[in-house]
């Protein structure tokens, strides 16, 4: 059983040979990955595409679930060792159909890197009735991992893409769907990113005994298709780009943004740090609940709290009908 003391100890700062500007390829250079198999969500654009390219170059066979299979196949046409399969992460029935096909194929899975997500979207419910950011970013990935859990090898790692936006909100267990609360797209996004971090905590606690570990990562600021729900004027106002469309120079490239996920997926030094929140190919420690500067890094305690992770796990099992790593 993972305790709060355990998680606070694991979340103590750690550096690596890599950092803010390291690229995906650099983060896995020298790691033997030939012949392994990975599932990468969001693997045909932005950070996911860079993740897939780096893994494929290292000899990994990559399965890319895609809401738009034709677009995914086109984007990945020059990348070898990649298989695209239809899946809508926001629809649990679609996720179940995908995982059924993967189980039928029976290929052992060594890495799962859950990059896909939506951000600051207008209020909408998934087909199963969940607020779309929570339903897509967290529940879809929960059902995906749960659906293929029996194929995960000893030594496998699951990477949940969180965000510094988890600062905006813990999981609002009393009103996850904003049924009685005014909907704020940024609070909803923050809740979903906290949920992603807590999923790593809960998964690692249940799977570590089988040699399977989970980590959450903040990739940093990067302009990708993730901002598709944000008007250009808002991007300029937030100084994420200038009037000419040039990204803030502090932002990372997609290849740099993909580095932390791949570092967490492969770094030997993290083997005893399961469940931690990583950024810039490092661990930056816990920040106070009232700390507001997302650019400074760190993780709020509510995103690595094992009790909250257990509560979220129970909610997710009920919502998806999937109970991975059940004793």
Helix (H, G, I), strand (E, B) or coil at 294: helix
Question: Closest by alpha carbon to 167, among 265, 242, 279?
Answer: 279
Helix (H, G, I), strand (E, B) or coil at 128: coil
Do 4 and 307 contact (CB within 8 A), yes or no? yes
| Kind plus residue range of the DSSP H or E element containing 197 | helix 185-207
Helix (H, G, I), strand (E, B) or coil at 52: helix
189 catalytic residue (yes or no): yes
Question: Closest by alpha carbon to 221, among 242, 240, 244?
Answer: 240
- How many CB atoms neighbour CB 20 within 10 A? 15
146 bridge partner residues:
none
Which one is catalytic: 20, 44, 161, 189? 189
Question: Closest by alpha carbon to 309, among 297, 325, 296?
Answer: 325
Angle between helices 46-57 and 259-266 (to 10 degrees): 50
- State the distance between the two ends of the chain, measured CA to CA, in whole angstroms: 12
What region does 30 belong to: left with phi over 0, alpha with psi -120 to 50, or beta?
left
Strand 213-218 vs strand 37-41: parallel, antiparallel, or unpaired? unpaired
Question: Closest by alpha carbon to 40, among 19, 7, 8, 62?
Answer: 62
Question: Closest by alpha carbon to 92, among 45, 125, 54?
Answer: 125
Residues assigned a catalytic role = 189
């Amino acid at each position: 059983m993972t305790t709060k003391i355990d998680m606070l100890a694991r979340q103590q700062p750690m550096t690596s040979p890599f950092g803010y500007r390291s690229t995906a390829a650099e983060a896995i250079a020298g790691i033997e990955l030939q012949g392994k198999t990975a599932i990468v969500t969001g693997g045909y654009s932005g950070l996911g595409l860079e993740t897939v390219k780096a893994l494929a170059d290292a000899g990994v066979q990559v399965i890319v679930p895609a809401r738009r299979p034709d677009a995914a196949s086109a984007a990945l046409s020059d990348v070898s060792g990649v298989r695209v399969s239809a899946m809508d992460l926001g629809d649990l029935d679609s996720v179940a159909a995908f995982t059924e096909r993967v189980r039928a194929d029976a290929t052992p899975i060594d890495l799962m890197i859950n990059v896909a997500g939506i951000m600051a979207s207008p209020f909408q419910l998934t087909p199963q009735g969940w607020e779309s950011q929570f339903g897509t970013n967290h529940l879809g990935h929960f059902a995906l991992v749960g659906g293929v859990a029996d194929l995960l090898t000893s030594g496998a790692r699951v990477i949940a893409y969180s965000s510094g936006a988890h600062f905006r909100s813990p999981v609002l267990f009393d009103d996850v769907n904003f049924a009685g609360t005014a909907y704020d797209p940024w609070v909803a996004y923050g809740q979903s990113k906290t949920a992603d971090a807590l999923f790593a905590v809960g998964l690692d606690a249940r799977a570590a005994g089988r040699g399977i570990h989970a980590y959450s990562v903040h990739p940093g600021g990067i302009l990708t298709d993730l901002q598709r729900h944000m008007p250009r004027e808002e991007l300029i106002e937030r100084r994420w780009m200038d009037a000419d469309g040039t990204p803030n120079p502090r932002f990372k490239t997609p290849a740099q943004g993909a580095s932390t996920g791949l570092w967490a997926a492969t770094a030997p030094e993290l083997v005893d740090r399961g469940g931690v929140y990583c950024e810039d190919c490092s661990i930056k420690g816990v920040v106070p609940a009232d700390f507001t500067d997302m650019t400074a890094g760190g993780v709020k305690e509510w995103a690595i709290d094992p009790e909250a992770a257990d509560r979220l796990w129970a909610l997710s099992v009920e919502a998806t009908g999937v109970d991975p790593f059940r004793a």
